[in-house]
Amino acid sequence: MHPQFYKSMYRKNNKENENNFNKREGTKTRSDNRRDRNFNSKERSFDKKDRDFDRPERRRYKSNNEEYHNHNSRFRSFEKTKRRGITTQKQQSESVRLNKFIANSGVCSRREADELIAAGFVSVNDKVIKEMGFKVSSKDTIKLKGKKLTGEKKVYILLNKPKDFITTTDDERGRKTVMDLVKNACRERIYPVGRLDRNTTGVLLLTNDGDLTKMLTHPSYGAKKIYHVELNKRLKQSDIQLLLEGVELEDGIENVDDIQFVEGFPGRKVIGVEIHSGKNRIVRRLFEQLEYEVEKLDRVSFAGLTKRDLPRGHWRMLKDSEVSFLKMHHIPKN
C-alpha cells in the first residue's frame, strides 16, 4: 500500500486512543472544550442582555422614542447658542466708538465727529445717533448726512524725510509738507507720528492708527529715538555728563538716555544721542542751553525703525513683522 495510507491511519488511531484515554482519566477532549467555549459565549451574551435589560438598543430607541430626538435637538441648539455667544463676544471686542469710526473713514477728526454726532447728522442702521460713546461694529451701516461711510484699513508708511519740509498735514503759509512726499502712497487719511522740524532729516512714521500713535508719542511707552548730531564745536566731557544727568529747560529738566561720539568723524563734533522724550525740538534745545549750535540733525532710528536702504525723500510700507514689533515691544514702563 501507499505510504500516505499508513500515515493517515496512524493519526486516526492516535486520536481515538487519546479520546479513550481522556474519557478514562476524566479529562476533557478537544470537542468538549469547543462545546464549553460555545456555551460560555452564549452565557456571556445572555449576561450582557440581562445587564442591558433596562437599556434599550440605541437604534430602536432613536427611531421610536421622540424624547430622544428632542434631547438631541436641544443639545444641538445649546451648542449653536454657545457658538453664537463666542461670536458675539468677538464682535464686542472688535467694536469701536462711533467718533473713532468716522475719523478713521477720513472725513474729519474725532472732535469734529463728536460735533457731527451731536448735531444729528450721523445714523447707524438708519437710526439717528446722538449718544456720545456709542459703539459700532463692522456689520453696522454708518451714514453721514445720508452718505455711507466705510472704515479704513490700517496703513503704516516709513519716510526718510529731507530738509525744508514741514511735519504737518497742512500749512497755512503754503510751505512744503511731508504729506506732499506721500500723497500717492495710499487713499487712506494718514498723519505723522510725532514731529521733525523743518531742518531735521531722517526717519518719520505716518499712519492712521491712532492707538499706535499714542503709544509711540507718549514718554511712558519708552519709544526710543536715535539722532546723529553735528555741532559747531567740540563737545566737552563735562557737558556730556550734564546731558546724562539732566539739563534744566524752560519747561522742565530733560536728559538723554545715552550719548556717544560717532566713529569716523574727527574733532568730536559728531555724536549719537538716544532719547525717549517727545517734546518739540528737544535735542536742539538741550544743546542750545549748553551754548552749542546744532548744524545738522538726522534721526536715524525711531522705535526700532531705521532708514536703511531708504533714500532721502523716499518712503515704503512697513512689513507686518515691523508693525507687530511696534505693538508688542512698546508697553508702558509703569
Q: List the catalytic residues.
A: 197
Residue 118 to residues 77, 151, 234, 251, 275: CA-CA distances in angstroms? 42, 20, 59, 37, 42
Distance CA 12, CA 202 (A): 105
- Sign for the pseudo-dihedral over CA of 312, 316, 320, 324: positive
- Which alpha helices (H) appear in the chain, and where do they start and end? 3-25, 30-51, 58-64, 66-94, 98-104, 110-118, 210-217, 237-245, 282-289, 320-329
Burial class (CB in 10 A: 0-12, 13-18, 19+), 116: middle
Q: Which amino acid does the sequence have at 218?
A: H
Distance CA 332, CA 107 (A): 31
Asked if residues 152 and 104 have their Cβ atoms less than 8 Å apart, the reply is yes
From the list 250, 224, 238, 232, the residue with the least C-alpha distance to 302 is 224
Distance CA 81, CA 85 (A): 6
β-pairing, 270-275 vs 225-231, is antiparallel
Residue 130 to residues 67, 189, 239, 243, 258: CA-CA distances in angstroms? 51, 25, 57, 51, 50
